[in-house]
Amino acid sequence: MKCCEEENFSHGNLVPYGNIEMSPSAGILNYGQGLFEGLKAYRKEDGCDVLLFRPEQNAQRMKRGAERLCMPSPSVEQFVEAVKQTVLANKHWVPPPGKGSLYIRPLLFGSGPHLGVGPAPEYTFLIYVVPVGNYHKGLLNLVVEDKFHRATPGGTGGIKAVTNYSPVYKVVTQAKAKGFSDVLFLDALTGKNIEEVSACNIFIVKGNVISTPATHGTILPGITRKSIIEIALSFGYQVEERVIPVEDLLEADELFCTGTAVVVTPVTSVTCHNKRVEYKIGVEMVSQKIHVMLTGIQTGRIEDKMGWTVEVD
Ligand code: PMP
């Protein structure tokens, strides 16, 4: 099989959660040839139906990542069907409305043995699920990281490669030890522009303009980010995807982070070179309006005019 081909991933089966066996020389273990995705299933307000949020977007992102890492990938249809089947089999684990969601973790990795540096001869696509509460640890206080970077131009920052995450453990752990919630990374080329947080995208608000860093391959194109851009436009805001110099943080009215885990979470402060900037928090915030709309659609409370949700039945 040539790398990047769509393999037949349709012969999967449902098995109880447990350990998996792998060769010690598996591509994922030796060379990090692996991708993951993250999405959520919400129980509708009526308590019966379960909704997925834009699962085909995760499928497409996984396909793009597989192409970059020289792996075959499931088709969009196979991916979405596998997610649906897994959620259906675990429907009893989807928390009641308002109490959280079922987090869905698809993984695609080189599971076949290969000693030399190169694509593995076999691949595994698997999905596991876990019920999670609402993230709302509340608010984020970020620290700007000016020494370490999350991604470099031409690297894998724009895909959900498993190897993108452990390189940030050190700085995030150090930041948390100092009382920050997370780290805001700058671009590696100039060190002057904001990119994203370790596992979420960032937006800044100034008047009627909502800006977020343009992705350009070093920032993960978040599905929440994409959805929020569409919601903000529908609300009449001007949305800009652009280079955002770190100085723009000083002028911003409001900052918020977005992602499957954090959904839409306001940032209370950013610390850069020991200088701390604070942001207003309140019900009249732009992020609050967007949060209500996004979560309303995700849980079926607000009519899904965008056609984003998929029922699991
Ligand atoms: N950036 C990074 C680095 C992430 O890991 C995530 C979480 N997937 C996001 C942004 C947000 O992406 P999404 O909205 O698709 O969850």
Cα angle 256-216-7, degrees, rounded to a multiple of 5: 105
27-132 shares its CATH topology with 140-298: no
Alpha-carbon distance of 26 to 35, in angstroms, equals: 14
**Interval between CA 166 and ligand 1 midpoint (Å):** 15
pLDDT at 290: 97
- The domain covering 140-298 belongs, at the CATH homologous superfamily level, to D-amino Acid Aminotransferase, subunit A, domain 2 (3.20.10.10)
Which class is domain 27-132? alpha beta
Q: Where do the structural domains in the chain lie, given as residue ranges?
A: 27-132, 140-298
Q: Is the confidence metric ipTM above 0.90 for this complex?
A: yes
Q: Is 298 in the pocket of ligand 1 (CB under 6 A)?
A: no
pLDDT in tens, 173-183: 999 999 999 99
Q: Is 222 in the pocket of ligand 1 (CB under 6 A)?
A: yes
User: What mean pLDDT comes out for the span 52-64?
Assistant: 98
User: What mean pLDDT comes out for the span 124-131?
Assistant: 97
pLDDT at 141: 95
The pLDDT of residue 67 is above 80? yes
- Contact between residue 313 and residue 43 where contact means Cβ atoms under 8 Å apart: no
**Interval between CA 202 and ligand 1 midpoint (Å):** 10
pLDDT band at 24 (very low <50, low <70, confident <90, very high): very high
Alpha-carbon distance of 122 to 106, in angstroms, equals: 17
Active site residues per annotation: 160
**Interval between CA 106 and ligand 1 midpoint (Å):** 14
The pLDDT of residue 2 is above 70? no
The three-state secondary structure class of 42 is strand
pLDDT at 137: 63
- Contact between residue 217 and residue 154 where contact means Cβ atoms under 8 Å apart: yes
The three-state secondary structure class of 225 is helix
pTM exceeding the 0.80 threshold for the entire prediction? yes
* Atom 10, ligand 1: residue with shortest CA distance: 200
Q: Per residue in 275-292, is it b (16+ CB within 10 Å) or e — as a string? A: eebebeeeeebbbbbbbe
pLDDT band at 4 (very low <50, low <70, confident <90, very high): very low
Q: Is 259 in the pocket of ligand 1 (CB under 6 A)?
A: yes
pLDDT in tens, 218-270: 999 999 999 999 999 999 999 999 999 999 999 999 999 999 999 999 999 99
- Contact between residue 139 and residue 268 where contact means Cβ atoms under 8 Å apart: yes
Quote the mean pLDDT of the chain. 93
Provide the terminal-to-terminal Cα distance of the chain, rounded to the nearest Å.
34
Instruction: Classify the phi-psi angles of 124: left when phi > 0, otherwise alpha if psi is within -120 to 50, otherwise beta.
Output: beta
Q: Is 182 in the pocket of ligand 1 (CB under 6 A)?
A: no
